[in-house]
Amino acid sequence: MELRRDKIIKIISIAGIAAIVLLPLILSVFLAFKLMDIAKAEGEMSARIEELSEKLEAIEKKGMSEGISVISTDKDTQMASSGGDGENAAVRETASRYDTGGSAEGKKVYITFDDGPSVYTGEILDILKKYNAKATFFVCGTGEESEGLKQYYKRIVDEGHTIGMHSYSHVYSDLYYSAESFEYDLDKIRNLIYNETGVATPFYRFPGGSGNTVSTQDMSVFIPILYAGGIEYYDWNVYPGDASREQHTAEEIVSNTLKGVDKVDTAVIVLHDTGAKKSTVDALPEILEGLRERDCNILPFDEDTPVIHQYELSEDE
């Protein structure tokens, strides 16, 4: 019995020693495979992000400069016009007009600014005031670090410009995560604008445009939420390129803007109001001069502004 017990103890000891020696090795092999999987996933994610960024920029350069679709403001008869020649379909006439040096018969031009307010919003407003031109600002929310920018919501409205929504966060992954996350963000920016200005704006512009490829959800998930709240979404048909990863000079932005305006009957220009877009601010006076030379009427958005959609709901959606 004593010999058998010693044998059992010896076997258990050997097994314990083997486990102590082999367990770290097994764990090391397991962790190595997990790290390889993580690295592979990160590589695939990085490649996907790069691909989405390239697609988004391609959409901006093509669809946003040429005008993917221009439709009537009557939602019951919305029909997309997808021609790339910039010809607008069913554009409704606008009654209001500002004295910007154009004639009543001149081309209608809507200058819009996305992403603000920013450190340059005040300068943009000063330039517009100098030229007696009205624009439309699709604004985002301001965090605690930029509380001082809140003053510009009211100034935009007080100086006769139109204010619209461009989401609260402008974080694609959060905004476009689900219908619920989109509606939550929409409520935040709508309430912020109303609390600061008293305006319940019916104008919305999707970050990236309604034709973006960044959203993991189909845009048909979000558009009905806007319509249910009496809100219309607006894209653009003149894209000067100031949001591209490639930095453009003020001169290039002016040239791109005026060339784009020349291609369409009614122009909706998208510019960007961010702390990284000083060249846009520098380009604005010359853009306004160029539009005046073309006898254009520079208008802010109102209920008669023609609706441009990159993405259009199908009849059964």
| 3-class DSSP state of 126 | helix
Alpha carbon 232 to chain centroid, angstroms: 15
Place of tokens 């092999």: 29
For residue 290, give both structure tokens.
């160029």
Residues 239-295 have pLDDT tens digits of 999 987 778 999 999 999 999 999 999 999 999 999 988 999 999 999 999 999 999
**Taking the CB of residue 150, how many other CB atoms lie within 10 A of it?**
14
Helix, strand, or coil (residue 108): strand
State the pLDDT at residue 148.
87
Task: Give the percent of the chain with pLDDT over 90.
Answer: 59
State the angle between helix axes of 278-293 and 121-130 in degrees (0 to 180), rounded to the nearest 10: 20
Segment 148-201, tens digit of pLDDT: 899 999 999 999 999 999 999 999 999 999 999 999 999 999 999 999 999 999
pLDDT at residue number 105: 65
Q: Say if CB 137 and CB 162 are below 8 A apart.
A: yes
pLDDT of residue 175: 97
Q: Helix, strand, coil proportions of the chain in percent (round to 5)?
A: 50, 10, 40
- Give the chain's domains with CATH numbers: 66-308 (3.20.20.370)
Residue 256's CB is within 10 A of a number of other CB atoms, namely 21
Residue whose token pair is 């989401």: 167
**How much is the mean pLDDT over the chain?**
79
Mean pLDDT of 103-110: 80
CA atoms of 129 and 284, how far apart (whole Å):
12
Q: How many CB atoms lie within 10 A of CB 162?
A: 21
Residue 56's pLDDT band (cuts 50, 70, 90): very low
Q: How far apart are CA 141 and CA 148, in angstroms?
A: 12
SS3 99: coil
The CA-CA-CA angle for residues 261, 265, 268, to 5°, reads: 55
